Structure 1
Amino acid sequence: MSNSIINLQTAENQQILTIKPPKTGLSLQGTLKIPGDKSISHRALMLGAIAQGQTTIEGLLLGEDPRSTAECFRAMGAEISPLNSQKVTVQGIGLGKLQEPLDVLNAGNSGTTIRLMLGLLASHRDRFFSVTGDASLRSRPMSRVIKPLQQMGAQIWGRNNNSLAPLAIQGQPLKPIHYQSPIASAQVKSCILLAGLMTEGKTTVTEPALSRDHSERMLQAFGATLEIDSKTNSVTIIGGSTLTGQTVIVPGDISSAAFWLVAASIVPGSELLIENVGINPTRIGVLEALEMMGADIALENKRLVTGEPVADLRVKSCQLKGCTLEGDIIPRLIDEVPILAVAAIFAEGTTIIKDAAELRVKESDRLAVIASELNKMGAKITELPDGLEITGGTGLKGAEVDSYTDHRIAMSLAIASLNAQGKTTIHRAEAAAISYPEFVETLQQFRGSL
């Protein structure tokens, strides 16, 4: 990125990322390795903690969210080695043996940590737990997992009529249910399945569309008995299984790869090879969406790694075109909507995204925030109640923007700024470390001379 500037500064307890592409143009070239999959990292830590024996996790994401998961389970008796290398060991304490913690469990900014963990805590009889998180997490809805757990007999109390953290949980025996989930959510499904681990009988979750299936794959790998009906989007767990420690190899996170897929697509003359990316069928909505937009992406060296499909992704720049994204594809790309909005700005025609109201209750209201911040840069994005309408071909100019402490917003704005005229300043850029600690470092490897 010759003659460009990519600087990261700290001021008033926040990081400010400044990006100024060169006037002569730039191209992104090279091979990238991306962080481990966040969803798989969380689940490997949790299942390792409640399994018998040792679990070894290779390629673990060393971001803030998995650290929150590790701290919570350490507080309940699991021995987890320091998260300072991508190989982590977990000495499990066995199913049903989580200890009552001496203090409030802190899930930080991690919705996955608190929502999945609730299923385990609610089913630990005769033990009391309290859980909180940061300001963002305390504002995010918990009723989507609390209500089905209460149907199972769980005792959970919280703010706003038991829907917001901090939460208090009195563990007790639960009863199996068949839960018809109103939304396709891997967090809801996983929470109920984890509660069903220690519930006698069969606990079933049926979704309106298929959500990511990392929990099902990993539960089976650790020894749980599941019945999966793909025709009805239903999964059943049979209580009473014994989980045994495993070796888990975490593939690269396709949600992190998405930023570079879009970057190479929209920056002329670019070609990137992104290695070791998980291509689980329930997660590749972003690849399908970019294919609909005409992106030049090839999947190379396809293989299975500890039950998860993996490939190397080669992406070359090309002219994208607008499309409509809605329906069943949305649960499979929900985290990638902000960066797909960036892709749509540089596409020919109009892109419409629907059925994504779930994004309004993430780390930020992602629909509102990505629209407002990209519009500051000259985009033409209209908010819809459940999505976005993006007019392509408008071009972008540098501006002062804010991540709203949302990691996916921070990284999407950074990628957008690579194709903007002039300097872009991104406030609270430290949010990127939640899921991609090396994002700025990876970005800087392309910068050339300052």
Structure 2
Amino acid sequence: MEFQLLPGGVISGEARVPGDKSISHRSIMLGAIAEGTTRINGFLEGEDALATVAALRALGVAIEGPDDGEVAVHGVGLHGLRAPAGPLDMGNSGTSMRLLAGLLAGQVFDSELTGDVSLCKRPMGRVMGPLQQMGASIEGSADGTPPLRVHGGRALHGIHYDLPMASAQVKSCVLLAGLYAEGRTSVTEPAPTRDHTERMLRGFGYHVGNENGVISLEGGGRLLATEIDVPADISSAAFFLVAASIAPGSDLLLLHVGVNPTRTGVINILRLMGADITLKNQREVGGEPVADIHVRHAPLAGIEIPRDQVPLAIDEFPALFIAAACASGRTVLRGAEELRVKESDRIAAMAAGLSILGVPNEVLEDGIIIDGGGLGGGVIHTCHDHRIAMSFAIAALRASAEIRILDCDPVATSFPGFDALARGLGLQIMARVD
């Protein structure tokens, strides 16, 4: 599938983007090992989250739905998972693979985690290392990539792990393995990352400590079923936060968006650039902060992005690069080497696309420098990355000519119906099947 976009447009109205991908993944995993039936509303029916559903079904968990965002997970308890009949296919979902690696490390049976061509190029040594320190037997290919083979029946012991990089996936993997470990498992992170795992474990009645930045739990407890209301995903909302900010005359209200403070870097950075963003009706739903976000067009100015905001906006940088391209002056990003090991090398992929549109940029080892101004048209290659595709779609609002975006099928991994919602809000987008 490809997107074709005419230049210009105004973003207006109100919308609710799909449910949070991170929370959707975790709701299925924790619901599966809880006791009782966990009911979920607002579940993201994208391909990544559905890969997690399929994996837990293959592990013997009865799951009803998803049906219009509603899911019922009939938990089997901490030790009720069963050996799968074959390899578990994670598709394109790095979250599924890294978190399930932790969950499966504590089982009595062997398992194998695999995925598509893109996922099988992503680094998994970052989770294999701490799991092996805990006593797990897990191995990947020679260069530390999938497929991962997990040998069951190993006694795990708690460790203290200093994360070498700010990664919520690695942190969550270690904590999930810690549920099966003897003693205390703790993690220290170099910078705050999304804390959905810790919040949700507490929601399932499991005690998780957090003292002076050390997150810890004791193994061998119980998770009790609960109800989960998944807020709209701020990573999906980010495309429209940028879209309404850059398109003159825009006025948009995004409903029921998760505004967990470990995820609001995109809002903080856009505000530093001059964006007009207001949080309304702030509330807490199921332990997660939620708000309606009102955004209106405002002139943006380039900035040096504060390093402390980088982990809080790591998935939103492709959209922020478009904001930088439309801003006056220069935007500098450093300390974001993690972007190179996402679904694509997002620094390289975005830099290539920006160059095609005539936006001056300089690639750094750990970031990028973007000189804002005008955008032209052209043909964009997404590197099969959903966030690259959606980011260049919103660039059309300020482009001087048509933009074609190739290989857009991966958009369904996180944002099914993106083109229809965008069209309804004012983007001049058409989706064509190749």
Bucket of the pairwise TM-score, normalised by the shorter protein: over 0.9
Q: Among residues 393, 399, 418, which one is paired with 1:420 in the alignment?
A: 399
Residue 18 of structure 1: aligned partner = 4
Report the CA distance between 1:448 and its aligned residue.
Answer: 8.7
Report the CA distance between 1:327 and its aligned residue.
Answer: 2.0
Residue 379 of structure 1: aligned partner = 359
Aligned to 2:208, the other structure's residue is in SS state: strand
Report the CA distance between 1:380 and its aligned residue.
Answer: 1.0
Q: Is residue 43–residue 230 contact of structure 2 (8 Å, CA) maintained in 1?
A: yes
Q: Is residue 79–residue 91 contact of structure 1 (8 Å, CA) maintained in 2?
A: yes
Residue 197 of structure 1: aligned partner = 179
Alignment of 1:34-433 (within 5 A): 34-125=17-108, 127-160=109-142, 163-171=144-152, 172-229=154-211, 231=212, 233-393=213-373, 395-433=374-412
TM-score (norm 1): 0.93
Give distance in 2, aligned partners of 1:381 and 1:35. 32
Report the CA distance between 1:189 and its aligned residue.
Answer: 0.4
1:51 is matched by which residue type in structure 2? A
Given the superposition, is the C-alpha separation of residues 448 and 121 from structure 1 closer, same or farther in structure 2, using an over 3 Å criterion?
Answer: closer
C-alpha RMSD over aligned residues: 1.2
Q: Is residue 223–residue 241 contact of structure 1 (8 Å, CA) maintained in 2?
A: no
Q: Which stretches in structure 1 are left out of the alignment for 5+ residues?
A: 1-14
1:61 is matched by which residue type in structure 2? L
Residue 8 of structure 1: aligned partner = none
What do the CA deviations read for 1:70-103 (whole angstroms, capped 9, x no partner)? 0000000111113242011110111022111111
Give distance in 2, aligned partners of 1:55 and 1:448. 38
1:66 is matched by which residue type in structure 2? A
What do the CA deviations read for 1:140-182 (whole angstroms, capped 9, x no partner)? 0000000000000110122115x11111111222011000111
Give distance in 2, aligned partners of 1:353 and 1:122. 37
2:54 is matched by which residue type in structure 1? E
Give distance in 2, aligned partners of 1:152 and 1:446. 49
What do the CA deviations read for 1:235-291 (whole angstroms, capped 9, x no partner)? 001111110111000001001111000000000000000000000010001111011
Give distance in 2, aligned partners of 1:114 and 1:210. 22
2:385 is matched by which residue type in structure 1? D
Report the CA distance between 1:209 and its aligned residue.
Answer: 0.6
1:166 is matched by which residue type in structure 2? P
Aligned to 1:415, the other structure's residue is in SS state: helix
Q: Is residue 321–residue 349 contact of structure 1 (8 Å, CA) maintained in 2?
A: yes
Moved over 6 A (4+): none
Give distance in 2, aligned partners of 1:142 and 1:243. 27
What do the CA deviations read for 1:327-358 (whole angstroms, capped 9, x no partner)? 22111000011110100011111000110000
Give distance in 2, aligned partners of 1:274 and 1:60. 17
Given the superposition, is the C-alpha separation of residues 448 and 343 from structure 1 closer, same or farther in structure 2, using an over 3 Å criterion?
Answer: closer
Given the superposition, is the C-alpha separation of residues 366 and 226 from structure 1 closer, same or farther in structure 2, using an over 3 Å criterion?
Answer: same
Aligned to 2:220, the other structure's residue is in SS state: coil
Q: Among residues 416, 419, 428, which one is paired with 1:437 in the alignment?
A: 416
What do the CA deviations read for 1:373-416 (whole angstroms, capped 9, x no partner)? 121011111111000100012x1111011111101100001011
Q: Is residue 289–residue 325 contact of structure 1 (8 Å, CA) maintained in 2?
A: yes
Identical counterparts, % of pairs: 49
What do the CA deviations read for 1:5-55 (whole angstroms, capped 9, x no partner)? xxxxxxxxxx0110013xxx5321100111000000000000011111100
Give distance in 1, aligned partners of 2:89 and 2:319. 29
Aligned to 2:238, the other structure's residue is in SS state: helix
What do the CA deviations read for 1:423-450 (whole angstroms, capped 9, x no partner)? 1110011221111001111112135999
Give distance in 1, aligned partners of 2:375 and 2:427. 22
Aligned to 1:205, the other structure's residue is in SS state: strand
Give distance in 2, aligned partners of 1:292 and 1:285. 10
Give distance in 1, aligned partners of 2:127 and 2:269. 29
Aligned to 1:348, the other structure's residue is in SS state: coil
Report the CA distance between 1:324 and its aligned residue.
Answer: 1.0
Between Structure 1 and Structure 2, how many residues are aligned? Answer: 428
